[in-house]
Amino acid sequence: MGPDEDREQTEARLRDLRRASIMHVDMDAFFVSVELRARPDLRGRPVIVGFPAERSVVLSASYEARRFGVKSAMPMAVARRLCPQAAIIEPRHKLYYEVSGQLMAIFESITELVEPLSVDEAFLDVGGAIRRLGPPSEIGQLIRRRVAGELGITASVGIAASKFVAKIASTRCKPDGLLLIRPEQTVPYLHSLPVNALWGVGGKTAEVLARMGIRTVADVAATPVSSLKKVLGATGEHVHRLSWGIDSRTVTPVRVEKSIGAEETFAADTADDALLHRELLRLSHRTAERLRASGLVARTVALKLRYADFSTVTRSRTVHTPLDSAQLIYAVAIQLLESLGSRPLTVRLVGVRAEQLEAAAQTSLQLSLDRRDDNWRAAEQALDKVAQKFGSKSVLPARLLEPGSGNS
């Protein structure tokens, strides 16, 4: 066999491997996994990340806790009834975003085509890395080894010819697994799954389809598009295409976060202005920390209030100079709160959000006429460095110190 034939065979093999080179990489119980690095004594036990207040929600649950029915976004009161023996760990959001940054750096060392979906998952197109690193399955195992070795957490990897099927594969191999679905396996594999495996088919849609006798993906594939559109509208064509594995979306590496924010539900409804102001300051610091960690600034600040009857009001204000300072975000939030006037009911939830984001490096952070604005920003950057070295609770604004905490 001559060199030309060798080259042709090599290129043919590369083309074949690239037919299934889209990955969905998803961390397993991310917040819990990060916390267990410092609490190895809790491994193998039910663990919940979230605030212990009855009206808070579960942010993450270990697989041991999930066996009792505990799920993310579930009210903490319900989770504690289902699994009273679970250890509850208060969240450390800044730490999670730091680990997320390290995770994305691992992905970007493999391929430039990385599309983050959230702090702990992303799509990757590794087609261009095959010649250098080997087949997609080997690249997936490399990513899992690096995530485990460098970050101390586990990842599940789905590999397929499309984003939709790769996402299904990662879900089906959790926790700590890898599943490759080749193009020729795609349709048989999909047709073995229940109908709710399809994107866009939630509980209500599944009920509608069940009344038509449609319970599996194979049933959807065998149903005329016209019949599906009669009951599902435009979604009918969408789910029919997915049932045949048709998903032409590419991995899009540029994905600008639209907003960054934080909110808190009070343990008891409140009408206390001092408590509201204190919580707004805390949320402003959480929001500003995330902005700076992401290298972003905001042109708009939004306030969210939810009253005791669950009615919700939001207000926002655009500022002249982009900001990433907690004190400046807080000042705008207080102005928005005062603009609401007297409140008709006690407050159940309060939130702060930074919007109209742009890269800080591309933005001129001009000094305002008041030098204190820049002084606040410099002070908060110094706090970031202290928090990175000693932990996020080492230094806090005096108003946020807990009574009797002994901090100074």
Could you list the residues known to form a binding site for Mg(2+), using ranges.
26, 120
- Identify which of 143, 177, 182, 175 has the alpha carbon closest to the alpha carbon of residue 159: 182
Angle, vertex CA 311, rays to CA 339 and CA 286, nearest 5: 65
CB atoms closer than 10 angstroms to residue 369:
5
- Do 315 and 302 form a contact (C-beta atoms < 8 A)? yes
- Return the residue matching tokens 């950057």: 381
CA distance 68 to 117: 28
Number of residues in the chain:
408
Taking each helix axis as running N to C, give the angle between helix 326-339 and helix 372-390, from 0 to 180 degrees, rounded to the nearest 10. Answer: 120
DSSP label of 327: H
Could you tell me which residues come within 8 angstroms of residue 58 by beta carbon, excluding any fewer than 6 positions away?
A: 48, 49, 50, 70, 71, 72, 73, 74, 75, 76, 79
CA distance 174 to 188: 21
Residue 342, beta-bridge partner list: none
Strand, helix or coil for residue 248: coil
- Do 395 and 387 form a contact (C-beta atoms < 8 A)? yes
CA distance 352 to 299: 14
CB atoms closer than 10 angstroms to residue 314:
12
CA distance 179 to 148: 17
Strand, helix or coil for residue 209: helix
Residues forming the active site:
121
CA distance 300 to 282: 18
CA distance 199 to 68: 26
Q: Would residue 129 be called left, alpha or beta, if left means φ above 0 and alpha means ψ between -120 and 50 degrees?
A: alpha
Residue 180, beta-bridge partner list: 159
Mind giving me the DSSP string for 10-40?
HHHHHHHHHTT-EEEEEESSHHHHHHHTT-G
Annotated binding-site positions: 26, 120
